[in-house]
Chain A
Amino acid sequence: MAKSCPECSSPVPVADSVLVSEIVECPDCNCELEVVARDPLMLAVAPEPEEDWGE
């Protein structure tokens, strides 16, 4: 599967096994993207880390 990066419009190859909420990276602009839907595939810029994110 491939979809355009919402930031730079470059094609982002995505594995068929991708999951909703999975984080992928645009190979061109390195923007972190989130899979917001699978069928059809939809990518959005991933949320910025919140203050309480971590281990």
Chain B
Amino acid sequence: MSGHRPLGMAASRIRREEKWLLAALERTGHPVVRIDTRASAMPGRDFPGPEAVVLNREIGSVGACYLAWSLEAAGVTVVNDAAATEVCADKWRTALALRSAGVPVPRTVLAPNVDAARAAIEEFGLPVVVKPARGSWGRRVAYLTDRHAAEAVLDHCAALPAPQARVLCVQEPIDKPGRDIRVFVIGGRAVGAMYRRSAGWRTNVSLGAQVSPCPLDEDLAKLAVRAAEATGAQIAGVDLIEGAAGERYVLEVNARAEFAGLTGACGLDVAGLIAEYLKARAAA
């Protein structure tokens, strides 16, 4: 339809969510642009003009950050924006942003190297959680209950070649009830929530956690929205855990949140809601 700003999606890997998103974007009636983030250097031949609004669904966090900056430099509106994408890609930067906004987070310190991590573990005591500052899908997240396991994990980290891989967050574990909560936030509004339950300690859907609807009470919605706003993310999957007394903590804010689980658990058309948000951004 003439006069409508193009809506775009950038992705190198088209899974269920990306296919649903493209279909939802097509249904808005706006021209739709697809950017294949592997196809060329940036700015690329398939970069849209500055009138476009582009959803960044690049699966690699390094590529996603570079893409967001490159699109913004070309004058394109990208969601989530480059600054938010960078913050959400890093658990420590996220923790700092959340703390700064008064959002409750578990006690966490950053260990820039393995020796610092060892000292932090000594200070926190056991059990303790150790995770890479940059990582997703539960990779290399360890719940450590004894010194031998802690030393083995730290030895492994010390042997990793990339300096970034040796930067660790050391965190106080929360005695959670075998589940965590994912709230999906779009444009400052919490649109749905699900529980993720697992027999193990990690509750990532990618690791086989089972999902079920979670009541989205006002306090939960407000907390998730505050967390997303603290990082600058307009579209976010906010992960929370509950303590023994029912208090809630935010663990992380995901800027390229997967939502097949939420769509299935709650019957929520998340792709449609995201498309409508981009349409509204294009109209603004």
Contact = CB atoms under 8 A, between A and B. Distances in A.
A23 B13 contact: yes
Q: Give the interface centre of A19, A34, A52 by most chain B CB atoms within 10 Å.
A: A52
Nearest to B205: A55
Contacts, number: 54
B116 interface: no
Given A19-B19, A22-B19, A52 B11 contact: no
A20 B12 CA distance: 10
A21 B254 contact: no
A52 B85 CA distance: 13
B22 A19 contact: yes
B201 interface: no
Interface stretch (B43-51, B131-139, B148-156, B275-283): B131-139
A50 interface: yes
Interface in A25-55: 34, 46, 49-55
Contacts of A21: 11-14, 36, 38
Contacts of A34: 13
A50 B257 CA distance: 17
Query: Secondary structure at chain A's binding surface: helix, strand, loop or mixed?
Result: loop
Interface string B41-78: 00000000000000000011111000000000000000
B22 A52 contact: no
Contacts of B134: 52
Given A23-B13, A23-B15, A53 B60 contact: yes
Contacts of A52: 60-63, 134-136
Contacts of A51: 135, 139, 162, 165
A25 B236 CA distance: 28
A46 B63 CA distance: 18
Nearest to B64: A52
B237 interface: yes
A44 B196 CA distance: 33
A19 B21 CA distance: 13
Given A55-B256, A55-B258, A23 B136 contact: no
Contacts of B165: 51
Nearest to B14: A22
Nearest to A46: B13
Contacts of B139: 51, 54
B137 A55 contact: yes
23 contacts: A19-B14, A19-B19, A20-B36, A21-B11, A21-B13, A21-B14, A21-B36, A22-B14, A22-B15, A22-B19, A49-B137, A51-B135, A52-B61, A52-B134, A53-B59, A53-B60, A53-B136, A54-B59, A54-B136, A54-B139, A54-B206, A54-B254, A54-B256
Interface of B: 11-15, 19, 22, 36, 38, 59-63, 134-137, 139, 162, 165, 206, 237, 254-258
9 A-B pairs with least C-beta separation: A54-B136, A55-B254, A22-B14, A52-B61, A54-B137, A21-B14, A52-B60, A53-B59, A52-B62
Given A51-B165, A55-B256, 14 more contacts: A20-B36, A21-B12, A21-B13, A21-B14, A21-B36, A51-B135, A51-B162, A52-B136, A53-B137, A54-B59, A54-B137, A54-B139, A54-B206, A55-B257
